[in-house]
């Protein structure tokens, strides 16, 4: 079927299988291999992309569900001025080991900072709870996100998240 998809600011007209997952279309039809496939069941978050400002596991949505929406992958983070602040902080903090989880981590963190530019450390950890790093580099990853969040920006009207015990964070 025919699908119009906006990815990283560009409109694509694609012929897709009706049940093609978003990750399949991004990787196989658009060549955006920064989107990584790890577990294929929403546990690892390596395939995280941003759809209309929200982090989403691209292995758990169909490409057609993203019609009319704006998809952002790790390839769209950098612009002509260079790497995104988050990417620079990941480098500065050495928050990358094997690198497989990095695109997903970046996109989850980006979605968090888009909604809440100055999150608490607990909010950062909650936002990254759906991203697994098997090199166990979480400490540096959280530090990188925190550094990026310490840049001045407007406050957000997003209500605080609830933690695992139902408390505001």
Partner 1 sequence: MPNAELLTPGGIQELTAALQRATPSSRLLAGGTDLIRSMHQDHWEPDLLIDLSGVRELDYVTLEDGMLGVGSMTTFAELEADPLVRRHARCLAEAAAQVGSAQIRNVATVGGNIANASPCADTVTALVALGADVRTIDGGGAIATRPLTEITVGSGRTSLAPDEAITEVSFAALGADHRTTFAKIGSRSTVTVARLSMALVVKLDVAAGTVSGVRVALGAVGEAAFRDARLEELLEGRPANAESARLFAEGCTDAVQRAIPGRYSLPYKQHAVVGLAYDAWNALGLCERCEPAWG
CB of 49 to partner 1, least distance (A): 9
- Rule CB under 8 A: which of 75-104 touch partner 1? none
Pair type for strands 2-7 and 70-72? parallel
What is the distance between the alpha carbons of residues 92 and 89, in angstroms, rounded to a whole number?
Answer: 5
99: tokens are: 């690198």
Element (H, E) at 110: helix 102-115
Nearer of residues 56 and 95 to partner 1, judged by Cβ? 56
CB of 128 to partner 1, least distance (A): 8
- Rule CB under 8 A: which of 13-72 touch partner 1? 17-19, 21, 40-43, 45, 48, 51, 54-57, 59-62, 64-65, 67
Q: Does 134 bind partner 1 (CB under 8 A)?
A: no
Number of residues that bind partner 1 (CB under 8 A): 39
CA distances to 44, 67, 90, 100 from 134, in Å: 10, 33, 16, 9
CB of 61 to partner 1, least distance (A): 6
Q: Does 166 bind partner 1 (CB under 8 A)?
A: yes
DSSP-derived letter for residue 127 is: H
134: tokens are: 């098997």
| Helix, strand or coil, per DSSP, at residue 25 | helix
Binding footprint of partner 1 on the chain (CB under 8 A): 1, 17-19, 21, 40-43, 45, 48, 51, 54-57, 59-62, 64-65, 67, 108, 111-112, 126-127, 129-131, 158-159, 161-166
């Amino acid at each position: 079927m025919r699908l119009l998809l906006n990815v990283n600011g560009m409109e694509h007209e694609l012929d897709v299988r009706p049940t093609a997952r978003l990750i399949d279309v991004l990787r196989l039809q658009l060549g955006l291999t920064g989107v990584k496939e790890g577990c294929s069941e929403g546990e690892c978050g390596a395939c995280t992309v941003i759809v209309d400002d929200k982090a989403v596991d691209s292995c758990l949505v169909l490409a057609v569900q993203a019609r009319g929406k704006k998809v952002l992958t790790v390839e769209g983070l950098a612009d002509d001025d260079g790497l995104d602040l988050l990417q620079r902080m990941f480098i500065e903090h050495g928050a990358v080991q094997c690198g497989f989880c990095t695109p997903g981590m970046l996109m989850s963190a980006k979605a968090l900072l888009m909604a809440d530019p100055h999150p608490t450390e607990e909010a950062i950890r909650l936002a990254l709870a759906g991203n697994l790093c098997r090199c166990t580099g979480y400490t540096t990853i959280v530090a990188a996100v925190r550094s990026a969040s310490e840049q001045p920006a407007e406050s957000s009207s997003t209500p605080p998240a609830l933690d695992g015990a139902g408390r505001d964070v």
